[in-house]
Structure 1
């Protein structure tokens, strides 16, 4: 397919999750994303998990399809090259703090008036924060699990959401520049991503309007029927009903429609309403639990697949990779790539389908010479002199 962002050039100076996801999202849509790192790599270059070779599976996973430039950013010459690349590209994506100095908007926009800079901060006032500290403060760990102890999760949800916001914000700023000829600095605070989401989902208004605080519910689905159930062979599945059609499908597929109807009568609640099903959730689960306990996961799958029931098995990462056909090349999302330092691995393209095929992450600094020649027009002798002076990576 034609790459929708072909011709768009972005420089990324970043580390860890959010900004690299933003850059990768653009690269997966065809943009030329040039990631600039210090010599030896930024602080995320060796983050776990690692391949047996020591190559970071995390770093290669978040930098697929980009070009890599490594520079001595602690030296004036390296910073000058980086600033020149940013000015030529006209777009910078970063999560590094630089209110002043060479990577500030004031400094870089002096080189190019229509420069677009997307900068991720921790808090709206420029303070530090990471996903796990942000998440702790917005209520979700307290509402997760059961009992008084908060329960964290391993998914850096706010980093992921922030990365997608960054990509969206960059495209919006670029469209504005095309209309008006003006650039600008756009900032996004990781904490604000979380706060906005909590408010958008109604949790803030629930406190203000109702005076109530969401209690920890374990695996129950708030405001509707949903819960996990154990199967005969020790696996667990999640079952949910948001709509009346899904609710009726549960009764039909399990053969328990009449017994479930009796629950509503006995408890004097309307099971045709989400709130009624939530109120009767314990009794509903008591009717359904023996059905799941009498069947293996394969038997549950045979009964529920194609029935209109909203369900899914709990899987660890290994079960997902080894057993689930959706996590394989049978899914158009995935293809196998040869990743240097890692080997042959399954990699996703953009979830926006159809998409251009996935491309491997670069080796750190692998594109330095080519980018300096193509973007800045530097002759080979000049590049060689920079390498001799320790401004560029050593030649292999």
Structure 2
């Protein structure tokens, strides 16, 4: 068994949907022992789409790989007591807890730290006031749907990728690791808060959107065009579509060399009074530049375009469907060390990614399956709380826990 760089660390998780489970899985795929606590029938996301024909959630399986699962009767006081005992169980590299549920009741950080003063709890919230928010509502509030889509569109266009959830998931992992480092130096635990809406706002500010709006500049919709430089999609002679990008000077020179349009580009720059070596000027002249690029691509099949582009180091990609990615692209296969094929309980054979990080000091932990709900309840209660087989059997009889034989 390969030990990841976080081997020995123990994290308890009570979560649902994307960001918090992703944060836990990020740590698990680096070797941490991540124990997910759920109610007996499964959490809010236990049947989240997409699902198999028999209603097994591919979503849940995808975001809980490499974790251990404990299922408890969280509606009862005794079940909640077991959960709190697991969260605060002793261990030098333990006492780490993440959740995206309201921090009250058995999730109250003050109550938990009375049991373990050095506990680190990270609570992910919708907004900084503790209100509810999801990626779609955060995205709507910050204005992104009004700069996404076709330039002629007037209605908002939602993005299907939950960007803020994905960023928040990584910040969950980062926040726990930062707080754990602080605890190693000082012995202090703490309650760390993170708001999904603040994640979106921070990204907006970091990328210059807020400064742009405060300066009175209105960001328009640009369809498939790259904002601020040259980049857009083109159609090849065989109907295949490619994305071509000239963001940096080197990328732009590669396009000009591949298509032999250097003299035409120089003439265009002189005519427009623009220095097309500058990315901003390339954006201003994007439509005229596209008319120099379009005919060359339109006259050739994608295979020839690919050969010439690769020969000259052009930054480009073919547009392909998810089915084409999965069935035809070697990067999305076991040929890529990121991926591993295994049998996922309730699903069957799957191709699943591990961590994208490659550490020189540690081998990559192979992707592992998500647990069955409650698969590790008996194992974890014995390891952390000393509950033996007989005592566990009585817990099952009383309906307080879910085990594999339940």
Aligned to 2:272: 267
Question: 1:20 aligned to 2:21?
Answer: yes
Question: 1:345 aligned to 2:350?
Answer: yes
**Which of 356-365 and 232-241 deviates more?**
232-241
State the shift of 1:306 in Å.
4.0
Aligned to 1:392: 401
- Answer whether contact 1:333 1:353 (CA < 8 A) is retained: no
Residues 298-313 of structure 1 aligned to structure 2 (within 5 Å): 298-313=303-318
Aligned to 1:375: 384
Aligned to 2:210: 204
- Determine helix, strand or coil for the equivalent of 1:84: helix
Residues 159-170 of structure 1 aligned to structure 2 (within 5 Å): 159-170=165-176
- Determine helix, strand or coil for the equivalent of 1:118: strand
Aligned to 2:133: 129
Given candidates 103, 106, 111, the residue that maps to 1:107 is 111
CA distance in 2, matches of 1:6, 1:68: 18
Aligned to 2:146: 142
Question: 1:329 aligned to 2:334?
Answer: yes
State the shift of 1:139 in Å.
2.1
Aligned to 1:80: 81
CA distance in 2, matches of 1:149, 1:220: 19
Q: Which runs of 5+ in 1 are unaligned?
A: none
State the shift of 1:261 in Å.
2.3
Aligned length: 394
Question: 1:255 aligned to 2:264?
Answer: no
- Determine helix, strand or coil for the equivalent of 1:319: helix
Given candidates 356, 366, 379, the residue that maps to 1:357 is 366
TM-score normalized by structure 2?
0.95
Question: 1:4 aligned to 2:8?
Answer: no
State the shift of 1:55 in Å.
1.2
**Which of 320-329 and 162-171 deviates more?**
320-329
State the shift of 1:323 in Å.
1.6
Q: Give the superposed CA RMSD.
A: 1.2
- Determine helix, strand or coil for the equivalent of 1:47: coil
**1:21-48 Cα shifts (integer Å, max 9, x gaps):** 0000000000000000000100101111
CA distance in 1, matches of 2:14, 2:312: 49
Question: 1:182 aligned to 2:188?
Answer: yes
State the shift of 1:385 in Å.
0.6
TM-score normalized by structure 1?
0.97
Aligned to 2:321: 316
Aligned to 1:54: 55
CA distance in 2, matches of 1:256, 1:52: 53
**Which of 168-177 and 329-338 deviates more?**
329-338
Question: 1:277 aligned to 2:286?
Answer: no
- Determine helix, strand or coil for the equivalent of 2:402: coil
Residues 287-302 of structure 1 aligned to structure 2 (within 5 Å): 287-302=292-307
Question: 1:94 aligned to 2:103?
Answer: no
- Answer whether contact 1:143 1:217 (CA < 8 A) is retained: yes
| Structure 1 residue runs of 4 or more that deviate by more than 3 Å after TM superposition | none
- Answer whether contact 1:225 1:274 (CA < 8 A) is retained: yes
